Amino acid sequence: MLKAMRGDRGGQALLVLLIITLIVVPVLNLGLPTTHPWHVSTYAVTLLGKYLCYALLAMAVDLIWGYLGLLSLGHGAFFALGGYAMGLYLMRQIGDRGVYGNPVLPDFMVFLNWDRLPWFWQGFDWFAVALFMALFVPAMLAYGFGYLAFRSRVTGVYLSIITQALTYALMLAFFRNEMGFGGNNGLTDFKDLLGFSLQSDVTRIGLFIASGLALIGGYLSCRIIVTSRLGRVTVAIRDAESRVRFIGYRVERVKTAIFTFSALLAGLAGALYVPQVGIINPGEFSPINSIEIVIWVAVGGRTTLYGAVIGALLVNYGKSLFTAVFPDAWLFALGGLFVLVTLLLPRGLAGLGRSREIN
């Protein structure tokens, strides 16, 4: 693990910063009275936790875009699927505290006059099952999709477009009430997680720390992959796919493996995201969300995993700031960011500080 971090200055700095934040923020939130000038509000903690989930998602995209050359415009789908798996668990925890007070069925099913729980909701009463599904479902979808796509050598723009179509189709599907995932409204009104109330500060801090740990774990595992032999093959595929194939590597297997792992990370990010924001709805599948993830990575700088993290944090902070102060200008800013970054900063912010060591 230490070997993986060797020579990765940016990554080392990022991890140190992350660990410090994970210690300092909870102390400032729980240890200080709300009137103290150094107090960090629970709102800010939740916002930070949300950003950390986005950062993990951005890293998942960077892993396949930066190192494998696959521009996925559908990673939001894996994120949302992870979120829905966690959402199902949180819905089951509501029990009879819903508006209709039905001990078995969630409110929206009572509203739709369903008489029993659909089969795919079974088992989500257990946290472990939900967490497993939050990783397993996105990973399986990515595996099946990747297996088909990479076997038939769908690459480049075509892959981007069909990943976009994938998330679009899923969005349309989840909008349907018949799917059994709450339709348009999605899943919301969550009460508690593992017995802890979602409203309490302690749970919020717990989720924040969990997101931070997931990001650190995700970062380390991505570093291990990219510094391993597998990682070198991955980069080789990005740069000269045919040559790697002619040498004798099974390109499609490498691609499928990395793509699946990336989807798994995205699913984990989604599972951590949903309890913090308190809602998951089909809007998370919308193609624009997936494209936004790509711009986080582009701003931060791809092919540097820490760049993706920086990009996600910065762009989302900017979004929160902008939408509060000039709500109308946000799309101008985001659109301008897309254009300027691709034209002027092809290697992102991380590229500014680096010499021309790579490429």
- Site residues, another protein (CB under 8 A): 71, 148-149, 151-154, 156-158, 160-162, 164-166, 168-169, 172-173, 175-176, 287-288, 291, 294-295, 298, 328, 331-332, 334-339, 341-343, 346
Indicate the residue among 101 and 118 with the shorter CB distance to another protein. Answer: 118
Q: Which of residues 44 and 162 has its CB atom nearest to another protein in the complex?
A: 162
Of 166 and 272, CB closest to another protein: 166
Instruction: Closer to another protein by CB, 141 or 309: give it.
Output: 141
The CB-of-206 to another protein minimum distance in angstroms stands at 36
Task: Please say whether the beta carbons of 36 and 196 come within 8 A.
Answer: no
Between the alpha carbon of residue 325 and those of residues 170, 200, 313, 315, the distances in Å are 33, 29, 18, 15
The residues with which 244 forms a beta bridge, in sequence order, are: none
Minimum CB–partner distance for residue 215 and another protein (Å): 24
Query: At 192, is the secondary structure helix, strand, or coil?
Result: strand
User: Measured from the CB of residue 232, what is the shortest distance to another protein in angstroms?
Assistant: 22
Smallest gap from Cβ 1 to another protein, in A, equals 32
Q: To the nearest 5 percent, what fractions of the chain are helix, strand and coil?
A: 75, 0, 20
CB of 86 to another protein, least distance (A): 24
Q: How many alpha carbons fall within 13 Å on the CB side of residue 297? A: 27
Q: Which is nearer to another protein, 150 or 190 (CB)?
A: 150
| Size of the chain in residues | 359
Specify which residues 256 forms β-bridges with: none
Say which residues have a Cβ less than 8 Å from residue 323's Cβ, sequence separation at least 6. Answer: 330
Least Å from the CB of residue 161 to another protein: 5
Nearer to another protein, 90 or 237 (CB): 237
Question: How far apart, in whole angstroms, are the C-alpha atoms of residue 230 and residue 204?
Answer: 37
